[in-house]
Amino acid sequence: MADSESRRALFSRRRRANVEGGRQHFHKVRVSPEEEGTLKRLALEQNVTIPRFLVEAALSVEQGETPTERKQAIAELFKLHRLLAAISNNVNQIARATNATGEVQDEMRATLDAARRTAARIDTTIDEMSR
């Protein structure tokens, strides 16, 4: 449970983590009302503060993605991993019942379809991460 809570905190944190010695430099940026609206919307979409969004966006030029985007992709992969584990459990139960009775279970097609959909989601997530 503690591992799950620390993982949730890592992926849901709005502010950047503290650094030893603190951050010594401060930058003030003036924006128009339209720019402010856009910044608020973009930061809200990533569930981060505007200062964090600005820093990540500026520093991501070299990396091609923000740390928040990477964490969100990793969180999606964790979700997919749990879903795949649940599907695997269903496949094992269906196989056990099929072996015991010799009859193919009705749930097999739905379970295999779920496995295919999950594999497609994994492919999509990997494609998004590799951009």
pTM: predicted TM-score of the whole model, two decimal places: 0.45
pLDDT tens readout for residues 43-75: 998 888 899 888 888 877 676 666 677 777 788
pLDDT of residue 6: 52
Q: Which residue would you say has higher pLDDT here, 82 or 40?
A: 40
pLDDT of residue 26: 80
Tell me how far apart the alpha carbons of residues 48 and 26 are, in angstroms, rounded to a whole number. Answer: 18
pLDDT tens readout for residues 71-128: 777 888 888 888 888 888 888 888 888 888 888 877 888 888 888 888 888 888 877 7
Closest CA to 55 of 23, 8, 82: 23
